[in-house]
Amino acid sequence: MRILVVEDDTDVAGFVVKGLREAGHVVEHAANGRDGLFLAASEKFDAIVLDRMLPGGIDGLRLLETLRAQDNQTPVLFLSAMAQVDDRVRGLKAGGDDYLTKPFAFAELLARVENLARRGKGDGPATKLVTADLEMDLLSRGVRRAGQKIDLQPREFRLLEYLMRHSGQVVTRTMLLEGVWDYHFDPQTNVIDVHVSRLRQKIDKPFPLPLIHTVRNAGYMLREEQP
């Protein structure tokens, strides 16, 4: 995927660019708002990682607003040290698709960027999700694995739905927290792990091949077979 990184801090930018390239993406880098806007407006990207405080007269918010005013809908992930609730709200209001505060774990950034870049390419509203022999009917809210019916609590259902919609992608704990529970705070205990392990009991335990995998230092991934 083609990803644009607009970030003025050389260390952070170098780290992000290197990591994204290692993950197999084509990355362009701009060190100020002006260059960033020029690149974003003139070339096609699958996602943009955008710092908020940028030199060059155009900060991240202005850049994004200009871009959206030109009807450019490239998904944008804000990467900012401005971490207050209001900052976050302002960033999303300006047209940002996601907001990650510094300091951050690269795995979190990667998972979120890939999630954003893939989001635009969905094939419309599905009524059925399938991963390997796991099937989820979104209309009847039924789940089957290998033809066997599995009973899930509403919250377990939503957790599995989120994992299936992001099947083959790394999903971090914060992504689950925000996506499934709509919580924007950090629960100090590893509540997410407990919920995932409960889901595993129902989805994976009775079957020979596990589908929910733990990705070390990152989160979870639902995928067909182990690499």
Partner 1 sequence: MDWGSRASGLNLRSAGVRFGVAYAALFGVSALALASFLWWSTAGLMERQVDDAINADSLGLSERYRETGTAGLLETINQRLIGNVDRDAIYLLVDPAMRRLTGNLQRWPAGIGMDQEWIERPLERDGRRSLARVHQFELAGGYHLMIGRDVQARAEMRHLLTDALLWAAAIAVALGSVGAWAVRGLFGMTLAEVSAIAGAIGAGDLTRRVRVTGRGDEFDRLAEIINDMLDRIAQLMDGVRQVSNAIAHDLRTPIARARARLEDAANHASGEADLRAALERAQADLDGITALFQGLLRIAEIEAGARRSAFAAFDAAPMLLDLADFYGAVAEEREVVLKPDIPEIVPVFGDRDMVQQAVANLLDNAIKFAPSGTTVLLSATPEDGWVRIVVADQGPGIPLADRPRATERFFRGESARSTPGSGLGLALVQAVATLHGGVLRLEDAGPGLIATLTLPHGPREVA
* Three-point CA angle 59, 64, 68, nearest 5°: 155
Least gap, CB of 107 to partner 1 (angstroms)? 11
Please, which of residues 193-212 interact with partner 1 by CB under 8 A? Answer: 194-195, 198
By CB under 8 A, is residue 186 in contact with partner 1? yes
By CB under 8 A, is residue 103 in contact with partner 1? yes
Least gap, CB of 82 to partner 1 (angstroms)? 11
Nearer to partner 1, 151 or 225 (CB): 151
Residue 199: what are its φ and ψ, rounded to 5°? Answer: -65, -40
Nearer to partner 1, 138 or 191 (CB): 191
How many residues are recorded in the chain? 227
Of residues 211, 10, 186, 209, the one with CA closest to residue 83? 186
Contacts with partner 1, 105-134, as mask; x by CB under 8 A: x-----------------------------
Least gap, CB of 58 to partner 1 (angstroms)? 27
Least gap, CB of 84 to partner 1 (angstroms)? 6
Least gap, CB of 11 to partner 1 (angstroms)? 14
Least gap, CB of 189 to partner 1 (angstroms)? 6
State whether the Cα torsion 48-49-52-53 is positive or negative.
Answer: negative
Q: Which of 151, 189, 225, 227 binds partner 1 (CB under 8 A)?
A: 189
Q: What is the DSSP track for 52-80?
A: SS-SSS--HHHHHHHHHHTT----EEEEE
CA distance 107 to 219: 8
By CB under 8 A, is residue 188 in contact with partner 1? yes
Does residue 203 contact residue 139 with C-beta atoms inside 8 Å? no
Nearer to partner 1, 86 or 151 (CB): 86
Does residue 74 contact residue 40 with C-beta atoms inside 8 Å? yes
By CB under 8 A, is residue 184 in contact with partner 1? yes
By CB under 8 A, is residue 151 in contact with partner 1? no
Two structure tokens written together for 15:
């780290």
206's CB contacts (< 8 A; 6+ apart) are 148
Interacting residues toward partner 1 by CB under 8 A: 83-86, 103, 105, 153, 155, 181, 183-189, 191, 194-195, 198, 217
